[in-house]
Amino acid sequence: MNKTIKFEDLGSKDFKETWDYQEQLFKAILDTKIKNRREDAGLETDNHFLFVEHPHVYTLGKSGDLSNLLLSEEQLREKGATFYKINRGGDITYHGPGQIVGYPILDLDNFFTDIHKYLRFLEECIILTLAEYGLDCIRSPGETGVWLDVGTPFARKICAMGVRASRWVTMHGFALNVNADLGYFDNIIPCGIRGKAVTSLHVELGIEKVEETEVKSKILKHFTSLFEAKFV
């Protein structure tokens, strides 16, 4: 089992370009697995982890409801935002500057074949990261992602998640609000959940800007620990 993960920080990159790149990596892993099954080739499958920041974009998962986007095409253009229907689970979410997006493209045969456990590990990675900033973040029953003050009128999501998996290969991932402009969330019903707020790390800490490089290093540290992996 290959527990080495190839790491790339793509910086700021268009959503569609990044999605296409994910699909290339995803397909290459699937092709290797198919070759191994058909020819008993014994080839090692790769794992990847991408960090990226997207320009303003709204994405709708395959089970999502388009009515949760509250903007017309013209209004999207006015806000400098784009919109895509995509092939992950979940409903609608927003990506934009000040948000750390992580895309693990893993062959779970190298780790464990359990999608539920995979999602819980992604959540735990973010929970442990935010704990280092003094935030007591938890899960919300039946609602994937990472939250604060669950069960109170002040419940708010700080990290959204949505993944796709085929033959135990994953793509898409998580979006952690670090220095995000939360006004862009007013244009959607985030994740299709009414009456729940969204927050960002800089808001919770009451500071103008959080050092994103530091947050990324903490995420990678906890990810390698949870998955017993090594980044290269």
pLDDT digits (tens, 9 = 90+) for 166-206: 999 999 999 999 999 999 999 988 655 666 799 999 999 99
Question: For tokens 């006004």, what's the residue?
Answer: 183
The pLDDT score that the predictor gives to residue 190 is: 67
The pLDDT score that the predictor gives to residue 195 is: 62
Strands 92-95 and 57-60: antiparallel
Instruction: Give catalytic residue positions.
Output: 191
φ, ψ dihedrals at 174, nearest 5° = -130, 160
Q: How far apart are CA 56 and CA 169, in angstroms?
A: 27
Rg (CA), the chain: 17
Assess contact for 100 and 146: CB atoms under 8 A.
no
Q: Give residue limits of the domains in the chain.
A: 4-231
**Least-confidence region, from 12-21, 70-79, 94-103, 105-114:** 70-79
The pLDDT score that the predictor gives to residue 196 is: 74
Mean pLDDT, residues 132-153 taken together: 94
The pLDDT score that the predictor gives to residue 192 is: 57
Give the model confidence (pLDDT) of 3-15 as tens digits: 999 999 999 999 9
By percentage, how much of the chain surpasses pLDDT 70?
A: 97
- The reported pTM is 0.95
Q: State the chain's mean pLDDT as an integer.
A: 94
The pLDDT score that the predictor gives to residue 43 is: 96
Angle at 105 between CA 41 and CA 160, to 5 degrees: 155
For residue 230, name the pLDDT band (cuts at 50, 70, 90). Answer: very high
Closest CA to 164 of 209, 105, 217, 102: 105
Helical residues (DSSP H) of 132-211, grouped into ranges: 201-205
Angle at 101 between CA 145 and CA 138, to 5 degrees: 25
Q: How far apart are CA 98 and CA 116, in angstroms?
A: 28
Assess contact for 53 and 101: CB atoms under 8 A.
yes
The pLDDT score that the predictor gives to residue 142 is: 86
Question: Which residues carry a binding-site annotation?
Answer: 88-95, 160-162, 173-175
Question: Which residues carry a binding-site annotation for substrate?
Answer: 88-95, 160-162, 173-175
CATH class of 4-231: alpha beta
Residue 58 in this model has a pLDDT that exceeds 60? yes
